């Protein structure tokens, strides 16, 4: 075969590509490592070459197979197989900064640092993954040392920490805000306790206000101690809201339609305030934790009760009682278990992490200490929760109406732990975690990604060339540069192929302001490049809402 001119260039390019992938190696070490894979003292090759050897081998193999099958049957009958590893990633707040880590504790790194231009007291207060894992919602606020009335914001970030949008939370008190993504990831609900404005805001994926949902006025008394919690329905159409007027007992919770068409109440049979609500995975039931509200760490806030009922309020069943309110944290993925935090019997005055079967078929089981109400289930039904060492459940609060005040006074640092309810001690995932900040666990990715580390850098080179070429062709006196490229995994690729979004800041300057002139060209736009299977520049697209977002110059 002879090579044409193009083939010669192709061959040269391929060889360069191949050369770039070679690395120094130690031939002796490789050979010795390889040799160790065979030629041991039990090399049966020569023996197996004989007819007798083969016959004995067949007999031994059959015997081993039978023994293996017997052992497998016994193992299946006697015990459960070990749970596979979980793939979710933890996002948490440490010293006001957002961190991420793998669930085995590896890969911990700071994702977004608190803005040093902000007031000293402001930092991140909590973080939540969007359901598709492509972005984060985070609350910014007084970071444990602020006062009521200090500003609160919700920030939407890419998983690389790039800001997408922000929403200012009006008139929040010294708690919260509460916020959560809808199951379909299209909305973020934000609820600011003690807010004087609309108490429940619905934001879109970019952090823009879509709608304000009103919690019924009669229920939401304008009392300073008013507090609410909420839970999205699995179909993303409704939000269940629990809380209290905190001046009296109110056993009502509300199911509010997201489209603004109204709200309906459901009542627990108990007398305590219906505080914490959690929708079952199949959307048919609600778990409600109740208490006589004086604050979650106040000693006389009981009796606390855990109720499970249908979403129409029927078939209510009390699963647990306690001396204090029960922070219902969520259902196991299969709907079998409910995890809650609360002062449990046997927890020696600490807040305990308790599991109870949703059908009430077993007594609640205390599985560990817990610091705050947030508990997440992994896809393989391990529990992820936050503990604060030596924090008594019912002391240290100067203001019994504010759990937040109690926590910040104690200045305790938390640790995120993972626990297999089937047994074994909990393992540490992250320490020095801000105890008052909500952490979150990403759902396992539904798509397979394989991105080369330089996918966005390569894309930026191509992009830069094309943009520069385009400008030079059409205008002639403008120089364009792609200055910044940063990639996010993009799970929305319909072809189930590896994909990344690369954000590229385009800086355009006239020739009269050449590089080095001391004038930094303004960044005009942030464009988004879709890189699929590491192929840069294949799909170049503008993402409308994200175009021309304000960008802080590097």
Partner 1 sequence: MAEHLFGMRDTLAADDIASVVVARAASGDVRALEQIVSRYHDDMTRVCVVVCGGDADLAQDAVQSAWPIVWRKLDTLREAARLRPWLLTVAANEARQLLRQRRRRVVVELDVADLGSSRHDPADSIRSVDLRAAVRRLDPEERTLLALRYVAGFDSFELGSAMGMSPSGVRSRLERLTARLRRELDDD
Residues near partner 1 (CB under 8 A): 1, 4, 6-7, 9-11, 13-23, 25, 27-28, 30-32, 34-35, 37-39, 87, 89, 133, 160, 444-445, 448-458, 460-462, 464-465, 482-489, 500, 502, 533-538
CB 263 within 8 A of CB 255: yes
Minimal distance in Å, beta carbon 518 to partner 1?
A: 20
Measured CA to CA in angstroms, residue 59 lies from 55, 130, 248 at distances of: 6, 56, 79
User: 86 or 305, CB closer to partner 1?
Assistant: 86
DSSP 3-state of 76: helix
User: 184 or 533, CB closer to partner 1?
Assistant: 533
Query: Encoding tokens for residue 91?
Result: 């996002």
Minimal distance in Å, beta carbon 191 to partner 1?
A: 30
Minimal distance in Å, beta carbon 123 to partner 1?
A: 22
Spatial distance between the Cα atoms of 407 and 223, rounded to a whole number of angstroms: 22
Centroid of chain to Cα 18: 39
Minimal distance in Å, beta carbon 498 to partner 1?
A: 8
CB 93 within 8 A of CB 434: yes
User: 163 or 283, CB closer to partner 1?
Assistant: 163
Q: Residue 548: how many CA atoms within 13 Å on its side-chain side?
A: 1
Contacts of 26 (CB under 8 A, 6+ apart): none
Q: Residue 75: how many CA atoms within 13 Å on its side-chain side?
A: 8
Spatial distance between the Cα atoms of 178 and 473, rounded to a whole number of angstroms: 51
Which residue is it, tokens 């016959």? Answer: 55
User: 224 or 444, CB closer to partner 1?
Assistant: 444
User: 464 or 548, CB closer to partner 1?
Assistant: 464
Minimal distance in Å, beta carbon 333 to partner 1?
A: 18
Q: Which of 527, 486, 520 is nearest to 506 (CA)?
A: 527
Q: What is the DSSP letter of 250?
A: -
User: 306 or 502, CB closer to partner 1?
Assistant: 502
User: 30 or 73, CB closer to partner 1?
Assistant: 30
Minimal distance in Å, beta carbon 50 to partner 1?
A: 17
Spatial distance between the Cα atoms of 81 and 74, rounded to a whole number of angstroms: 12
Minimal distance in Å, beta carbon 530 to partner 1?
A: 13
């Amino acid at each position: 075969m002879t090579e044409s001119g193009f083939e010669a260039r192709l061959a040269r390019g391929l060889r360069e590509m191949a050369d770039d992938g070679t690395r120094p190696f130690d031939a002796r070490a490789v050979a010795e490592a390889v040799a160790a894979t065979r030629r041991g003292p039990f090399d049966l090759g020569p023996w197996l070459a004989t007819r007798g050897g083969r016959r004995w081998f067949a007999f031994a193999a059959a015997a081993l197979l039978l023994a293996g099958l017997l052992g497998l049957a016994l193992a299946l009958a006697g015990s459960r197989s070990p749970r596979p590893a979980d793939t979710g990633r933890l996002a948490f707040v440490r010293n006001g900064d957002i961190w991420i880590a793998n669930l085995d504790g590896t890969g911990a790194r700071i994702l977004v640092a608190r803005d040093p231009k902000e007031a000293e007291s402001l930092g991140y207060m909590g973080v939540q993954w969007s359901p598709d894992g492509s972005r984060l919602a985070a609350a910014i606020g007084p970071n444990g040392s602020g006062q009521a009335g200090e500003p609160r914001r919700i920030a939407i970030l890419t998983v690389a920490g790039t800001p997408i949008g922000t929403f200012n939370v009006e008139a929040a008190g010294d708690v919260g805000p509460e916020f959560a993504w809808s199951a379909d990831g299209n909305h973020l609900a934000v609820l600011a306790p003690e807010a004087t404005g609309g108490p429940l805001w619905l934001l879109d994926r970019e952090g823009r206000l879509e709608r304000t949902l009103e919690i019924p006025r009669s229920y939401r008394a304008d009392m300073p101690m008013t507090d609410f919690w909420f839970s999205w329905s699995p179909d993303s159409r409704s939000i269940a809201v629990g809380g209290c007027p905190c001046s009296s007992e109110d056993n009502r919770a509300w199911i509010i339609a997201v489209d603004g068409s109204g709200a309906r109440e459901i009542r627990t049979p108990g007398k305590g305030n219906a505080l914490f609500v959690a929708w079952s995975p199949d959307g048919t039931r609600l778990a409600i934790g109740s208490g006589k509200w004086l604050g979650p760490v106040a000693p006389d806030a009981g009796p606390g009760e855990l109720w499970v009922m249908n979403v129409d309020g029927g078939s209510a069943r009390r699963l647990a009682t306690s001396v204090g309110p029960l922070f219902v944290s969520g259902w196991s993925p299969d709907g079998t278990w409910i995890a809650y935090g609360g002062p449990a019997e046997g927890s020696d005055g600490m807040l305990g992490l308790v599991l109870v079967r949703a059908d009430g078929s077993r007594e609640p089981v205390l599985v560990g200490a817990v610091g705050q109400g947030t508990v997440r289930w992994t896809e393989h039904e391990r529990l992820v929760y936050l503990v604060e060492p030596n924090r008594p459940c019912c002391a240290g609060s100067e203001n019994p109406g504010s759990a937040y005040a109690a926590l910040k006074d104690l200045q305790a640092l938390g640790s995120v732990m993972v626990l297999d309810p089937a047994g074994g001690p909990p393992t540490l995932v992250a320490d020095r975690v801000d105890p008052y900040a909500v952490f979150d666990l990403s759902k396992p990715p539904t798509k397979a990604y394989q991105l080369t580390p330089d996918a966005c850098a390569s894309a930026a080179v191509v992009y830069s060339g094309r943009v520069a070429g385009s400008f030079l062709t059409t205008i002639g006196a403008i120089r364009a540069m792609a200055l910044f490229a940063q990639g996010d995994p993009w799970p929305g690729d319909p072809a189930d192929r590896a994909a990344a979004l690369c954000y590229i800041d385009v800086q355009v300057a006239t020739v009269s302001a050449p590089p080095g002139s001391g004038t930094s060209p303004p960044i005009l736009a942030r464009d988004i490049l879709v890189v699929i299977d590491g192929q840069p520049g294949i799909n170049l697209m503008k993402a409308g809402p994200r175009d021309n977002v304000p960008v802080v110059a590097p």
